[in-house]
Structure 1
Amino acid sequence: MTAPRALFLDFDGLICDTEDAARRSWSLLYASLGLAFPHALWRRMQGRSDGEQLALADLGRRLGRAVDPDTRARRLRTKTDLCRAEPLRPGVARLLENARLRGIPALVVSSSPRDWVEPHLVRLGVRRCFADLVTGDLVERHKPAPDLYLRALRHVGLPAEEVCAFEDSPTGVRAARAAGVACVAVPSAAGDAAALTEAVRVLPSLADFSFDRRRLPDPMPDPMPDPMKGSLPR
């Protein structure tokens, strides 16, 4: 692809590391019950809206009983508190400012609902940097299905090859690829760079992305996406 004419950014784990906050909330809950939170389970949960259900099912099996509502609510409160303490990830502000100076619109493309994403963007001082938010409450199928990206493409009125997406999880990368959008991956603190091989490039930070690169590798053809939904809550 040539230099992008629009940028699509995931939210959780990319703009703000709510992914790591979610992981820590589960680790703390498991530890309070005398258990270790399995890394393999977290890898399955990343980028999926049914992640909480996966963890609750695993925890219930280990405890030999269903997780009670008070325990679930306690974990969600911990996650909320941890997320509120998370700053912008490195390079986000610079990327958005460089896009603004070049007249390149940026959109959030997230499976999470708007009422989760927008308050955090306001808190972090970057809501004004985004032309629009394309969030999970607008579509029936979430990542890795391409629906959110296809909707974002319709919004900007550009072909997929003129847009660059940024994601932190394999689920998000697959969604972008399924829509024909080249995707640069930046793993979150709780992520795994080795699992992001489907991205056209894996960077340690958004600060490492350069608009001066005239081309990114074209995205590889993608198989039919898994219709399984993705992103929050976890």
Structure 2
Amino acid sequence: MTPQALFLDFDGLICDTEDAARRSWSLLYASYGLAFPHAVWRRMQGRSDGEEVALADLGRRLGRPVDPGTRTRRLQKKTELCRAAPLRPGVARLLEQAELRGVPALVVSSSPRDWVEPHLVRLGVRRFFADLVTGDLVERHKPAPDLYLRALWQTGLPAEEVCAFEDSPTGVRAARAAGVACVAVPSAAGDAAALTEAVQVLPSLADFSFDRFLLPGSPLPDPMKGRPPR
């Protein structure tokens, strides 16, 4: 069976705001003569508390807390970089195919609605989404399954009929915890090797095919179906 709905993460998947975030942290660390550790970035990816992770690491290296003004400047730089970030490859094609097939698409993101929706409008894809399930609707964010459980409740579909798309291990774990099969597409700042829990890892959403994808547990096509009897 092909998916009856698509649940798409936003940051890093639809728009590479993740790379913008990574660059903003790299610039901040560099201003102190430090390199931004890849291990810290991996711990941050896909988490709504990622800023706290990096600030704690930087504070330890500096031997003092990071001052509020520096935090503000880092966020301003991230916002500036995000405003220039384009739609990721294959997103428009996937959404157009879903629309043609009558398959609803929802954003499922730990980020708040007032961050996600303006970007969707800017990128010209807001109309494709039946709903936005965002971090301001639940108490626990990814890797907890709450956002995906909320999205399932809103669609009225069982988990086994839905396909999620994520770019981070945190997101993949959240989908799996809700029983939703997940296809992973690493962002520019991501690591494909860390996405092994996904049912598929694709280089781009442009590589996803409704015709070739089967949800786990779906019966395989009958190779004899449609053939005349001998």
Aligned pairs, how many? 218
What's the C-alpha RMSD, in Å, of the aligned pairs? 1.1
Structure 1 residue aligned with 2:31 = 32
Aligned partner of 1:183 in structure 2 is 182
Letter in 2 for 1:179: A
Alignment correspondent of 2:210: 211
Asked if residue 10 in structure 1 is aligned to residue 14 in structure 2, the reply is no
2:160 and 2:215 in contact (8 A); partners too = no
- Aligned partner of 1:31: which letter? A
Indicate the residue corresponding to 1:228 in structure 2: none
Q: Is the 8 A contact 1:182 1:218 kept in 2?
A: no
Cα drift, residue 218 of structure 1: 4.7
TM-score by length of 1: 0.91
Letter in 1 for 2:45: Q
1:193 paired with 2:192, answer yes
| Deviation readout 1:75-130 (Å, 9 max, x if unpaired) | 00000000000000000000000000000000000010000000100000101110
- Aligned position for 1:78: 77
Greater relative contact order (Cα 8 A, min sep 6): structure 1 or 2? 1
The answer to whether the Cα contact below 8 Å between 1:15 and 1:89 also exists between their aligned partners in 2 is yes
- Alignment of 1:111 with 2:107, yes or no, is no
SS of the residue corresponding to residue 183 of structure 1 reads strand
Q: How does 1:36-115 map to 2 (within 5 A)?
A: 36-115=35-114
Cα distance, 1:215 vs structure 2 = 1.4
Letter in 2 for 1:169: S
Residues 127-180 of structure 1 deviation map (CA, whole Å, 9 limit, x = unaligned): 111000000000011111111111111111111111100000001001100111
Task: Please state whether the residue corresponding to 1:184 is helix, strand or coil.
Answer: strand
Contact 2:183 2:201 in 1 (8 A): yes
CA positional deviation for 1:71: 0.8
Match of 1:227 in 2: none
SS of the equivalent of 1:187 reads coil
Q: Which residue of 2 aligns with 1:222?
A: none
AA aligned to 2:18 is: E
Conserved in 2, the CA contact under 8 Å of 1:160 and 1:180?
A: yes
Query: With structure 2 as the length reference, what TM-score do the two structures score?
Result: 0.93
Measured in 1, the distance between the counterparts of 2:126 and 2:66 equals 36
Q: Deviations over 1:10-69 (max 9, x none)?
A: 000000000010000000011111110000100011011111111111111111111111
Report the CA distance shift for 1:113/1:218 in structure 2 as closer, same or farther (over 3 A). Answer: farther
Unaligned segments of structure 2, at least 5 residues: 219-230
State how far apart, in whole Å, the 1-side matches of 2:213 and 2:190 are. 28
